[in-house]
Amino acid sequence: MGRLVRTEGLTEIQEEILKTVRQFVEKEIIPVATELEHKDEYPTDIVEGLKDLGIFGLMIPEEYGGLGESLLTYALVVEEIARGWMSVSGVINTHFILAYLIRQHGTDEQKQKYLPKMATGEVRGAFSMSEPALGSDVAAIKTKATKTDDGYEITGQKMWLTNGGSSNLVAVLVKTDEGDDSVYKNMTAFLVEKEPGFGETAQGVTIPGKLEKMGYKGIDTTEMILEKHQISADQVLGGKPGQGFYQMMDGVEVGRVNVGARAVGIANRAFELGIAYAQQRETFGKPIAQHQAILFRLAEMATKVEAAHSMVVRAARTKDSGERNDVEAGMAKMLASEYCNEVVQDSFRIHGGYGYSKEYEIERLYREAAFMLIGEGTSDIQKMIIGRSLLKDYKL
């Protein structure tokens, strides 16, 4: 382990968890990641290994069979996993967000029903806000739940579900008519149960198939079509309709820390590959690392990795303290994703023509880094969130 992305003040348990995950990444993920990614093959064996390590229950309280760890621990674990293969960190991200939503906002019955099985990975989670005609404009959601005698009937189309095929429980944000003037108070999150796989996975629930992507391969990203899906009122997250938007935004703050951590992991791996190659490749009679241009580039890359890591740690610790971290999470996600792309591009340039070859790992990282710019909200969206909060804090 190099000197980058170290974190002060960790407990012995946190250090042990990170050591175990790091060893798993080195042994089980890095050697097979590029091959599986090029095949767009789901990492079944890796996921089973993460189940055995207890990673699916990392942030689930001990009373429900989890490890009861903090968001900081989760973020640092994500950094390690994304360093090996970013797609694997995506497998656990939406699972964690759903577990967090149930832990923070679910009824006692929902916690008892789902969290123990989520801790073992028996129940695999996903969550859904986006639709084909919208991304960050959550207020424009069209999928609607209509009240019936027995509960609700949901109809609509959702988009960009990570783990859409492999999950069997999805938190779905939809419109409901609660008679409020605010569009945000007319949204409800439902816990939709389904079978893993594609096609009709539950009554009125269809997962058409995997979406083809430039990167972020291996993991299943899907649509979800709901056609008069019948669901009971017991499946409303928290038991009270009209709270869905606020619940989901709380979960998105966790997601933004996750994407920031993923970006740090990718950037750290790109730096490792770049500094190693710079010492092996020779031009004009000496390793290219001894040329000032390359040396300066490596220094800038390492500094960006460290800065992004520090921002992610701060955002996680802020959330763990019980405070809102919308500004901190937005800053961390924005900085980490932008720096990730810059570091990966610099490593790509250090590799020269070989960086363009699929035989070299940096080619995969180059495609994966692009997703960090849009996952959980673009940099422009983060700037809007940060700017509006700053205006409130510094209001004249």
Residues recognised as catalytic: 376
> At 108, which amino acid appears?
D
How far is it, in rounded angstroms, from Cα 186 to Cα 244?
Answer: 8
**3 state SS of 191:** strand
How far is it, in rounded angstroms, from Cα 40 to Cα 288?
Answer: 34
* Runs of H (alpha helix) within the chain: 12-24, 30-39, 44-53, 71-84, 86-105, 108-120, 244-280, 292-320, 326-351, 361-372, 379-393
DSSP string, 236-271: BGGG-TT-HHHHHHHHHHHHHHHHHHHHHHHHHHHH
Is residue 312 exposed (0-12), middle (13-18) or buried (19+ Cβ within 10 Å)? Answer: buried
Kindly report the length of the chain. Answer: 396
Using the Cα atoms of residue 246, residue 234, residue 141 and residue 157 in order, give the sign of their dihedral. Answer: positive
